[in-house]
Amino acid sequence: MEPGKTHTLEPGARSAEATSVSSRTFPADRTAPRAAAAWLRSLETGLSPTRLADAELCLDELVTNVVRYAWTPAADPDSHTVTIAVDRTPSELEITVQDDGRQFDPTAAVLPPIARTLEEATPGGRGLLLVRSIATRLSYERRDGLNRVTLAFPIESTHES
């Protein structure tokens, strides 16, 4: 898939219940997190504004981690990409972040301890805590040399009783 190009996959390619699937690949550079979040915001996700903001925050965090940590500093960033796939079912929006960086499982990563005082506090290192606490589902798999992190957000019913 070419960087920056949006693709629509066949319904059911990822989930039998899928009503809409869209995917886009971004160059793995410092512009990727915001570009991915803006792209997500442009889609018909079915999420409430609050849930969409949560999804954008989580996506930004995951893509930022890929861009900053997935490859050695000497690696050529132009040779790497991050692919985001969005799958909408009747009950949830599923977002998958895929990269070819070093293996990293955010569901098993040890989180830094919460600082008890301001003097103990250090900047950064809380992104995965945010993702784990905001997304209703988070999973990881490593397959064919690729990391695949999937997170989900519920689509609230718009039907009134």
List the chain domain ranges: 6-154
> Is the per-residue pLDDT at 119 higher than 80?
no
- Segment 59-76 shows an average pLDDT of 86
> Is the per-residue pLDDT at 121 higher than 90?
no
Name the pLDDT band for 88 (thresholds 50, 70, 90): very high
Q: What separation in angstroms does the CA of 33 have from each of 19, 68, 100, 146?
A: 26, 11, 16, 19
The answer to whether the predicted template modeling score (pTM) of the entire model surpasses 0.85 is no
CA distance 117 to 120: 5
Asked: is 6-154 a CATH 3.30.565.10 domain? The reply is yes
> Is the per-residue pLDDT at 65 higher than 70?
yes
Q: Identify whether the C-beta of residue 66 lies closer than 8 Å to the C-beta of residue 58.
A: no
Q: What separation in angstroms does the CA of 67 have from each of 6, 81, 82, 152?
A: 20, 9, 8, 21
